[in-house]
Amino acid sequence: MLEALIYGAVIALISGTALPFLYRSKNARKASFSLSFISSILLLVFAGIVLYTGKEPVFPAFRFLPGLDFTLAADRLSAGFVLLIAVVVPGVSLYSVEYVEHAKGEARKDLQTALTNLFILAMLMVVLAGNMVGFLVFWEIMSLSSLMLVLHDYSSEESKKAGLFYFIMTSLSTAFLFMGFMSLFRLTGSAEFGQLDYPASLLTLPFLCLFTGFGIKAGLVPFHKWLPYAHPAAPSSISALMSGVMLKVAIYGFLRFLLSVSFPQLWWGTLILVMGSLSAVLGVIYALKESDIKRLLAYSSIENIGIIFMGIGLYLIFKLEGFEALAMLSLVGACFHAFNHALFKSLLFLCAGSVVHATGTRDIEAFGGLIKRMPHTAVLFLVGSVSIAALPPTNGFVSELMLFQAYFYSSALLDPLLKVLLIITLSVFALTSALAAALFVKVFGITFLALPRTKYAEEAAEATNPMLLGEAVPAALCIFSGLFSSRILVLLGFDLGIPDMLSLGLILGGACGLIWLAVRNSGPSESPRISKETWGCGMLGQNSTMEYSSAGFSEPLVVIFKKIYRTEISTTRTYSDTKESIFKSGTVRIHLIKFFEERLYLPAAYAVSLVSSQVSRMQNGKLDTYVLYVFIAVLTLMTFTRYYA
């Protein structure tokens, strides 16, 4: 049964990858997306069974080298992430059927369709990989297929830069993973993922390597810069997959390692918690300043990844301090937040894709009034905004509630230093959550409400039905998984004592209904609704220039957090006289410092290019020189093995 489901899903995805190349037609693309839709249904059933029964199936698949069997294996952790893939893919594939047709040129459409399937397949295989070799192989396929999707508009300068940035960062991530897995392999002598019963001092190097590697891929500050470049460049359906699923695959990998360590150390937990808090708060603060809708959503992903890492850090700390129940609460909270973020972020990216397609721009300053022109998209976007702003009874609230509850119950924790750390990170978490609400008031309000600011927004038309349907799937799941959260978790065996959102939702709905019934008939009966112009201090003829803009909306926060958005003011002046007393002309330039890019990435890049320019001197293109190099290398190796091995 389980085998049939998995092989069915894999075969569907492989044929989905091959079809658009074999039959280059619109129908082939449609069939290809239907196949990915079908595979996600199969995966949904598979994940459901494994999660519910707790079976741990292993499927031997094929052999790379003698001794290196590539197996597929699943347990409840991987089934949870298979479920995450399976809930995001249906919406994306329904949406893409129509969306992919907007791409320029037949070849690009085919390529995008095929690569989407390959990308999904690779992510699935990473999660199901039974050993490190398979993990790394599919990790690379996942990275490369997404890279090609980021580069889909390969002729534009912006895409090229984004592609290069993404390629470097993802290679760096793989390099760190390689180092981490190699050092694990040296320790255990096996490529299997198994329990690591080693003292923590031996595992420090693997931990640091894997934390960095997975952190880069997940977009943890300070390795986050690729996200705001890659997401706007990629098609929206791919942004939804990358942000919704691929970042979570990195989380999965990290959890797979962390949960197998028998004796972790406290400083690991502290490090993870601090990095998570930093990502969370910086992600949302940078997002507030942004007015490119997709880049803004990318920054918001950094924030949510930060929250997930905070949960993981809390899990380690509570576990080591002996609070099993709180540790479980934090871990399930982190995983549930990963699941929820997959849902609402893919929803938001898909809706953003519709808006960008309808208006032809990504700048939210150019939008406005879209709720009248795209009412369905607006409602779906509102569902996503409410979830991501963590308002009850949606799913985004439940996972944040779990983390808050873990914090609030930690009164028995006695270590004073840890307590101070928890107070600080708790306030950072609260700040993040409130800033996220402010952010999504801004995004929704500026994009959809009031009057259109440009003619692009004025002429926008509602998205077509398949696209709306694709957005409706994650929206419905957001509400469903919020309302039934505690029931589902109890069904899966996690009785965490979180409040029941279903009863809260019913009471809330009932209260609003009662109020409506009570005041329905009050007021004058003859003219219940009059329409009059917005009040403008007596001036008539309101227009869109009187509205608040995106930059205006976030200005108070920019002022409050001006230490974080660093600006550099450079002035040049020329004077009419030599004593510099009569001012002739001058310029002032205010420049927003991209802190991480200018102070961390660029110096590193300069250092690398400096070293490589030295190394390139050794390249002269003559065969005999290279033979000499090989000879020296062999000689060195022989000497080395003679004396040291």
Site residues for another protein, 74-113, by CB under 8 A, read: none
Most distant CA pair in the chain: distance in Å? 102
Candidates 63, 104, 419, 487; binder of another protein (CB under 8 A) is 419
Considering only residues 504 to 523 of the shown chain, the ones binding another protein according to CB under 8 A are 504, 507-509, 511-512, 515-516, 519, 522-523
Binding to another protein (CB under 8 A) within 204-233 occurs at none
Query: Shortest gap between Cβ of 467 and another protein (angstroms)?
Result: 21
531 is a site residue for another protein (CB under 8 A):
yes
Respond yes or no on whether the N-terminal peptide bond of residue 375 is cis (omega within 30° of 0). no
- Residue 88 or 428: which CB sits closer to another protein? 428
Token pair for 244 = 């919704």
Q: For another protein, which residue of 299, 397, 484, 601 counts as binding (CB under 8 A)?
A: 397
> Are 99 and 236 within 8 A, CB to CB?
yes
Binders in 581-600 for another protein, by CB under 8 A = none
Least spacing, CB of residue 584 vs another protein, in Å:
36
Alpha-carbon distance of 576 to 585, in angstroms, equals 9
User: Considering the rule CB under 8 A, would residue 578 count as an interface residue with another protein?
Assistant: no
CA angle 503, 504, 509 (to 5 degrees): 100
The site string for another protein over 316-355 (x = CB under 8 A, - otherwise) reads ----------------------------------------
Q: Is 620 in the site for another protein (CB under 8 A)?
A: no
Residues 6+ apart with CB under 8 A from 266: 316, 317, 320
The packing angle between helices 416-448 and 266-289, to 10°, is 20
Q: Is 408 an interacting residue with respect to another protein (CB under 8 A)? A: yes
In the complex, least distance from residue 496 CB atom to another protein, rounded to whole angstroms: 12
Contact at 8 Å (CB) between 335 and 511? no
Show the CA angle centred on residue 218, arms to residues 124 and 58, nearest 5°: 30
Question: Residue 238, Cα to own-chain centre: how many angstroms?
Answer: 12
Nearest Cα residue to 366 out of 507, 142, 547, 583: 547
Closer to another protein by Cβ: residue 529 or 622: 529
Closest among 201, 230, 320 to 272, alpha carbons compared = 320
> Sign of the CA dihedral 501, 503, 506, 512?
negative
CB of 543 to another protein, least distance (A): 9
171 binds another protein (CB under 8 A): no
Chain-centroid distance of CA 644 in Å reads 46
Torsion 476-479-480-485 (CA) sign: positive
Is residue 563 a contact point for another protein (CB under 8 A)?
no
CB distance 110 to 32 below 8 Å: no
Of 434 and 633, the one with the shorter C-beta distance to another protein is: 434
Footprint (CB under 8 A) of another protein, residues 432-491:
433-435, 437-438, 440-442, 444-446, 448-451, 486
Q: How far apart are CA 32 and CA 10, in angstroms?
A: 13
Give yes or no for residue 539 binding another protein (CB under 8 A): no
User: Toward another protein, which CB reaches closer, 562 or 591?
Assistant: 562
Report the alpha-carbon distance of residue 508 to residue 122 in Å, rounded. 42
49 binds another protein per the rule CB under 8 A: no
Q: 517 or 618, CB closer to another protein?
A: 517
The interface mask with another protein, positions 364-383, x = CB under 8 A, is ----xx-xx-----x-----
Residue 544 contacts another protein per CB under 8 A: yes
Binding part of the chain for another protein, among 307-315, 328-336, 414-422, 579-587 by CB under 8 A, reads 414-422
